[in-house]
Structure formats: structure tokens, C-alpha cells
Amino acid sequence: MPDATTLRSLLEAQPLAAAFMSHLSAHRAQRMIDVAAGRLNSVTVVLENLVDNHNASAVLRTCEGMGVSAMHVVEQPNRWEKNKAIARSADDWVSVRKHKGLARCLGDLSAQGFDLYAADVGQGCVSVYDIDVSRPVALVFGSEHSGLSKRALALTEHRFTIPMHGMVESFNVSVSAAVALWEVSSRRRRHLGTASDLATDEAVALAVRYLKRALKNPELVAHLEAEVAEQAAGTLAGLPSGGPVG
């Protein structure tokens, strides 16, 4: 994963990225690059059937603030609905991946190398401080009212809890997600020895996408894309055709 300085150099060498940056303030362009250079693919969150869109949106906002690239939502039966006042456009920067089936969602994450940790209480849970961050981690949270379903618990390999020192047994789901994400993402970065785990091509593509979104002007974006494409076509047209040499 390139650091922000290296990433900027790579972007400046790309005509489209350079065009986008030329229409942003230096501070805004650098902000997009810094954020892209700090994204984590190897920590994610799964929400199973959250009822309150306030909580779901609060988790999304936490994911964005912690630099997590994606959040997974199992819509069974409740559909994902963003609360704009809470999410504060976090879904512009974090991918919200919707799933109709719990087993498929968790199975796909497991196949991608994620260890699945279900948020729970009681015997058999490991502390959030003891989650193994040497491998990718998916934190799975359940409904505000009933927690995770029996099926979800059966499909996850591990259960974790946040140690409590008061009379209440657990936090609200959005608070639990915030605490767990802070702990796991921080330790994952320390384990990796870098702010991000994106490959160079992934980081460049993400930064270009962020720069594009930052412009907030579809007409300008379309114009710049067409202009760069036209310049590229003209360059290719000016190249000599291939053929025998010598």
C-alpha cells in the first residue's frame, strides 16, 4: 500500500486524476488522498436485521470514521434505510453492501479469509481485546431488541463481548460497534505496520473515485472525462502503426 505522498505522485501522473485535482482546492484534494491512503479492507462489519435506521446509520458513520472500506447489511426482513442526519453522507465514502441471505453473506466473507466474530454476551465469548487481528476480521452485530439470531451464532466461528464494569449488561448496538471497531481497526493497523491494506491499484482507483465525488458537479465530471478520453484517443491515433522492423 502506498503512503499518501506516493499515492499523490501516482495520481498526478494519471490525466483524469490530475484533471479532477485541478478543480479542487489543494486542501480538499489532499484530504481525498489522505483518506484513500488510510482505508482498511480487512476489517468489516455485518449488521443482521437492525430495526432502527438511526443505529444502522450511526454504525455506518463509525465505519467511515475508522477508515473501514465496507459495511454489510443483511436485510432480513428489515430493509436498509439511511438516516441522513446521522449518516452525514458517510455512504459516499463507505461501500454499503446489501444482502438478502445471511448464510451467503457470512459464507462469502469466510471464503474471502475473514474470521467471523459475533457480538454476544455470556460464557464462551472472548474479550474484544483478545480478538485475533493477524487475520481479516468481520464483526457481526444483531438486532437492537433480540441480538443475533441463533442462525447467525451458528454460522460464526467466534463470539466476542465488550467487558462491562457497570450494572448494565451491554451497550447499545451502535455504541458496541464503535468501541469494537476502534479496538480492532487500531490493532489491525498496528499488526500490519501501515494505515491501509489496499494494493497500489486499489488505492489509486479509490482515490480517483473520491476525487470525482469531491467535485460534486456531474456536468464538470462528464466534461473532464470526455476531454481526457479525447486526448487519450488523439495520442493513440498519433502513434505509428505496428509492423516489421528492420
pLDDT digits over 43-64, tens only?
999 999 888 888 889 999 999 9
- The average pLDDT across 85-106 equals 89
Q: How far apart are CA 164 and CA 97, in angstroms?
A: 31
43-192 adopts what CATH topology?
Alpha/beta knot (3.40.1280)
Beta bridge partners of 43: 137
The ranges assigned to domains in the chain are 4-37+204-231, 43-192
> 63 Cβ partners below 8 Å, 6+ apart?
45, 70, 71, 90, 94, 181
Written as one letter, the residue type at 104 is: R
pLDDT digits over 97-125, tens only?
999 889 999 999 999 999 999 999 888 89
Q: How far apart are CA 187 and CA 181, in angstroms?
A: 10
The band of 244, judged by pLDDT with boundaries at 50, 70 and 90, is very low
pLDDT digits over 160-195, tens only?
999 989 988 778 899 999 999 999 999 999 999 999
Backbone angles phi, psi at 31, to 5 degrees: -60, -45
